[in-house]
């Protein structure tokens, strides 16, 4: 058997009782100048032709049954029916209609009886543009690996044609022989068990010292928060079946100027923009708590030399609870608080590892996602309010079969207890913000886009940076 990692098991269990657990991305492209009227039709035909071998990560799905003794395992599929994974949609050119469609597609659960991913080719956008909406279950890839999978399918050469789709296998290693593959599958569970037993003492030690460190940091530096310290907001309620999605992008030069002026990271600036936008939205709805909102922030443990093509791990990240300073009027002070907290979080995860960070924050996560499932929930405190994460994208302008990639946006997971998710992605000279929420909890999610611009302008003014 090929068992799932514990984190992936938790995701499957969470999906069974609550919300879908997939991550997605929207890519908006313009066709090449020499494109004929059937350019998009040809792209879709090629996608269904299945002339390229499929990435092994996309040829398996989680399975649990009597045959596995109730244990979650990966079940591998020898042949994919691509017509069940690659679909086509058309919009009338209205951008609001497009994002409503993305919300509808994002709300649909992935079928657990087959590999859990979908790709939608959407045409009819203004100016002859078209888009891909791609979603993959979080047990298959995390955000970093997923965006790298997509980036690897693109090219910097606008003249490059006959390019395989994102789901094609790009692994450079040759597949193992049948004998070696069998031995590996038989030995892997034992090796995993031995490794887990050998590291348990160290993991427990890192977790205990992590709890102590968290308390000290909270009492002395106010750089993190304790369980049940986040205020209850509407984002901590139970989700309905519908989703709302909004997206926008900002020039990277403006973020870099803020970095240089303040000495913080680009992600710190972006997080402060999100914190300010959410703060303004809550004020407009008369719902801003007196206590600071708390974001749960993934911190990747993948190195700079991360090789997505030969990756064997779906998820590699730690977690950190970051106070957003929504109770602070001064945007510069809010940015400083976020910077100090995230700097400590990166050091903490690097020293203790992702597993220890997950265990240390388990109480806060449990308090957030389990409470909405209970019949009577005290709406006073919770573990955290929303996830905020940042994914690196391609650093230069990219193309796919001659089509120029103009915009790329993450569409991340929302679930009971955290009904608003914000993920950003850098691309070329811009940074895209993807806001996702339960439609009934945040029907006017599109207002976050102008609010984000207002908050960046406010930050620039506070630190003396001239916006562009």
For residue 404, give every residue at least 6 positions away whose Cβ sits within 8 Å of its Cβ, in sequence order, or none: 29, 30, 32, 158, 397, 398
For tokens 């679909």, the residue is 87
Partners of residue 420 on adjacent β-strands = 437
Asked if residue 451 lies in contact with residue 283, where contact means CB atoms within 8 angstroms, the answer is no
Q: What is the DSSP letter of 415?
A: B
Element (H, E) at 359: helix 354-360
What CA–CA distance (Å, rounded) separates 123 from 251? Answer: 26
For residue 47, give every residue at least 6 positions away whose Cβ sits within 8 Å of its Cβ, in sequence order, or none: 82, 86, 119, 121, 165
What CA–CA distance (Å, rounded) separates 312 from 99? Answer: 33
What CA–CA distance (Å, rounded) separates 27 from 409? Answer: 7
Catalytic machinery residues = 138
Which tokens go with 301?
């443990």
End-to-end CA distance of the chain: 56
Please return the burial class of 118, using the count of CB atoms within 10 Å of its CB with bins 0-12, 13-18 and 19+: buried
Q: What is the DSSP letter of 54?
A: B
Asked if residue 152 lies in contact with residue 144, where contact means CB atoms within 8 angstroms, the answer is no
> How far is C-alpha 260 from the chain's CA centre?
27
For tokens 């597993």, the residue is 355
What CA–CA distance (Å, rounded) separates 101 from 88? Answer: 12
Q: What is the DSSP string of 281-304?
A: HHHHTT---SSPPEEEEEEE---T
List the beta strands (DSSP E) in 124-194: 130-137
CA distances from 66 to 97, 377, 384 (A): 44, 35, 37
């Amino acid at each position: 058997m090929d068992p799932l990692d514990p984190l992936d098991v938790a995701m499957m269990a969470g999906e069974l009782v609550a919300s879908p657990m997939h991550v997605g991305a929207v890519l908006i492209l313009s066709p090449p100048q020499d494109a004929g009227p059937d350019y998009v039709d040809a792209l879709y035909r090629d996608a269904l032709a299945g002339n390229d071998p499929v990435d092994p990560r996309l040829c398996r799905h989680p399975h649990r049954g009597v045959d596995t003794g109730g244990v979650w395992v990966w079940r591998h599929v020898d042949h994919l029916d691509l017509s069940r994974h690659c679909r086509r949609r058309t919009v009338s050119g209205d951008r609001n209609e497009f994002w409503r469609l993305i919300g509808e597609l994002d709300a649909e659960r992935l079928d657990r009886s087959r590999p859990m991913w979908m790709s939608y080719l959407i045409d009819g956008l203004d100016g002859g543009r078209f888009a891909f909406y791609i979603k993959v279950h979080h047990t298959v890839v995390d955000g970093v690996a997923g965006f790298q999978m997509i980036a690897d399918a693109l090219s910097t050469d606008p003249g490059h044609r006959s390019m395989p789709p994102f789901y094609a296998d790009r692994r450079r290693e040759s597949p193992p022989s049948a004998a070696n593959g069998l031995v590996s599958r038989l030995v892997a569970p034992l090796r995993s068990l031995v490794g887990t037993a050998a590291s348990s003492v160290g993991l427990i030690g890192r977790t205990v010292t992590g709890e102590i460190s968290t308390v000290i940091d909270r009492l002395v530096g106010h750089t993190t928060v304790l369980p049940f310290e986040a205020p209850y907001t509407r984002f901590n309620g139970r989700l309905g079946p519908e989703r709302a999605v909004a997206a926008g992008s900002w020039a990277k030069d403006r973020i870099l100027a803020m970095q240089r002026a303040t000495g913080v990271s680009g992600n710190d600036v972006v997080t402060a923009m999100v914190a300010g936008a959410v703060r303004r939205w809550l004020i407009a709805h008369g719902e801003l708590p007196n206590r600071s909102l708390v974001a749960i922030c993934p911190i990747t443990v993948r190195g700079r030399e991360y090789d997505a093509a030969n990756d064997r791990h779906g998820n590699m990240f730690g977690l950190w609870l970051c106070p957003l300073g929504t109770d602070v009027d001064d945007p510069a002070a809010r940015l400083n608080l976020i910077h100090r907290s995230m700097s400590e979080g990166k050091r903490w995860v690097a020293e203790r590892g992702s597993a220890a960070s997950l265990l240390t924050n388990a109480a806060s996560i449990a308090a957030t996602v389990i409470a909405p499932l209970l019949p009577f929930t005290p709406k006073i405190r919770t573990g955290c309010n929303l996830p905020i994460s940042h994914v690196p994208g391609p650093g230069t302008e990219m193309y796919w079969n001659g089509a120029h990639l103009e915009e790329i946006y993450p569409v991340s997971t929302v679930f009971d207890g955290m009904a608003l998710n914000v993920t950003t992605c850098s691309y070329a000279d811009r940074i895209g913000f993807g806001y996702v929420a339960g439609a009934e909890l945040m029907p006017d999610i599109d207002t976050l886009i102008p609010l984000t611009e207002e908050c960046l302008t406010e930050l620039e003014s506070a630190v003396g940076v001239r916006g562009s």
